Structure 1
Amino acid sequence: MNQPISVDLPHSLGKDEARRRIANNIHKLKDHLPGGASHTNATWEGDEMRLNVGAMGQSIDARILVQEKVVTCRIVLPGLLGMFSGPIEAMLRSKGSDVLLEDHSKS
């Protein structure tokens, strides 16, 4: 059974800057999944990123909608990965802004 997760990440960056930072940081998501990730594929459709991540032999589909003051992450965890919905949602709420919206352009 699929387990959906939806998390809003408020920000004050504006839509364009938030989108730029997410594009630069999306590769970091795999480091925060239980067991890591075998692949991360991302495509943009306007201000929405469609994301597919392979983890623990499963395929995870997600959408990240970038708006002027909030980024909404919607993730569907398939099958047994649904057991990790609580920890993954908690990580997104506590570290999602750091992982996705941190600025590395000055590093």
Structure 2
Amino acid sequence: MRVTLPHTLGKDEVRRRMHKHASEIGSFFPAGLASVTTDWPSEDRMSINAQVMGQSIPGGVEVRDNEVVIEMDLPLMLSVMKGPLEAAVKQQAGRLLAP
């Protein structure tokens, strides 16, 4: 799954908001379904690992000058969640990136 969201905030502000709200990523999944951990291996890249129904879903967020790219490698078993997950990511991350 790959979602690209445009922004006009500048990389520093996007990173600040991502750091502040990283703990909310688990709420993108239906209540109680996911346990999510995050890490920042580089200044512009946040790694995400979600544990959902016994499955590990790796992913990440890349902060670019004018957009944020969110990727998650959904296993086949969870691919049925792709549409609702993309919609939740667009809504929640879009709210986070609003000026």
TM-score range, shorter chain: 0.7 to 0.9
Tell me, yes or no, if structure 1 residue 96 matches structure 2 residue 89. Answer: no
2:45 matched to which residue of 1?
A: 48
The CA deviation at 1:35 is 4.7
Identify which of 77, 81, 96 aligns with 1:80.
77
Work out the percentage of aligned pairs sharing the same amino acid. Answer: 35
1:26 matched to which residue of 2?
A: 22
2:73 is paired with a residue of what secondary structure?
Answer: strand
The CA deviation at 1:89 is 1.1
- Measured in 1, the distance between the counterparts of 2:66 and 2:81 equals 28
Identify which of 32, 35, 38 aligns with 1:39.
35
TM-score (normalizing by structure 1): 0.79
- Does the 8 Å CA contact 1:8/1:70 hold for their aligned counterparts? yes
The CA deviation at 1:92 is 1.9
Aligned residue pairs, count: 98
1:8 matched to which residue of 2?
A: 4
Tell me, yes or no, if structure 1 residue 61 matches structure 2 residue 46. Answer: no
- Does the 8 Å CA contact 2:45/2:63 hold for their aligned counterparts? yes
2:85 is paired with a residue of what secondary structure?
Answer: helix
TM-score (normalizing by structure 2): 0.84
Structure 1 residue runs without a partner (length 5+): none
